[in-house]
Chains A and B, each alone.
Chain A
Amino acid sequence: EAGVTQFPSHSVIEKGQTVTLRCDPISGHDNLYWYRRVMGKEIKFLLHFVKESKQDESGMPNNRFLAERTGGTYSTLKVQPAELEDSGVYFCASSQDGGRSYNEQFFGPGTRLTVL
């Protein structure tokens, strides 16, 4: 079974440009999460999809970030325009529908974003 995959693995862009990160969850997982780790800080939650709906987007830092999950399969996270402080590693995770109980979140390897 394929794990969570993320593309690209690395991205280097100039300040003011646009970047789109992609996450493919494990097949059949309705829950999809985005997290990020900026330099020297903790890994922080960004948002949570259940199928194609945003369940919780309380961690999105500002309106330069747009996440979508059309069709409830893969997800994209667009940063437009990118700023220097957006540099970091962006992780995607997916899990099955756990109802009221916790189901393990499986993480992808992350996308390392560098904004120059």
Chain B
Amino acid sequence: AQSVTQLDSHVSVSEGTPVLLRCNYSSSYSPSLFWYVQHPNKGLQLLLKYTSAATLVKGINGFEAEFKKSETSFHLTKPSAHMSDAAEYFCVVMSGSSYKLIFGSGTRLLVRP
């Protein structure tokens, strides 16, 4: 069965510094992985997706993630945090038998001025 583990429930960074949100996955075969973001009072928005093409995936708003099979990781990064990046981020794997999404527990990103 597939699963994802987000290693940090909260991450705090200063504006202009790099962001790293960590995610490890478990899957018996090549997974489809995603990062979603939820801003307050908004729906979940897809940031980026990995579906077995390039291992470095670029998403919206300057975010990117690298699929590392040897480490079973799919960490989300951004070179320079912006105040508007403050939100909750979810690492997600798609179930192999259907289109249902399996979510990690979420990481709340705080950006300090």
Residues of A at the B interface (CB closer than 8 Å) are 3-4, 31, 33, 35, 41-45, 48, 55-56, 58-59, 91, 93, 95, 98, 101-102, 104-110
Tell me which of B13-21, B22-30, B43-51, B77-85 binds A.
B43-51
Number of cross-chain contacts by CB at 8 Å: 55
- Interface set of B (CB-CB < 8 Å, partner A): 32, 36, 41-46, 49, 51, 90, 94-95, 98-106
> When the two chains form their complex, are residues B43 and A106 in contact, meaning their CB atoms are under 8 A apart?
yes
| B interface secondary structure, majority | loop
Nearest CB of A to B78, in Å: 20
Query: A7: shortest Cβ distance to chain B, in Å?
Result: 13
Chain A: minimal CB distance from B43 (Å): 4
Asked if A56 contacts B43 (CB within 8 A), the reply is no
A101 to B101, CA, bound (A): 14
Specify which chain A residues have a CB less than 8 angstroms from the CB of B46 in the assembled complex: 104-105
